[in-house]
Amino acid sequence: GHMGSWKGELGLLAECRDLQGHLVPSNIIDPTLDRNYIFIKNFFDEVLSVFPERFIHLGGDEVVAWIECWKSNPKIAEFM
């Protein structure tokens, strides 16, 4: 979650739909694309090279929203 500002990375964010089937803004990664795992790896490699801390807080309080978004996307639902 909280990745809605990363719209510049094309294909990173999942397409989510509301109950009426309309596209809604997403801040959740599309887990079906291998390139997104490469992007995240590169991101964390850079974070770990810049900051000396041993721990990173990743949140995770939006898990329910992730699941609802992912279930609304047929490609992601099949992937799950």
Closest CA to 6 of 24, 30, 33: 30
Q: Which two tokens stand for residue 5?
A: 């500002």
Single out the residue of 2, 11, 9, 17 nearest to residue 77, CA to CA: 17
Catalytic residue among 9, 46, 62, 68: 62
62 a catalytic residue: yes
Query: What 3-state DSSP class applies to 52?
Result: coil
The residue behind tokens 């990375």 is 9
Question: Which residues are catalytic, by number?
Answer: 62
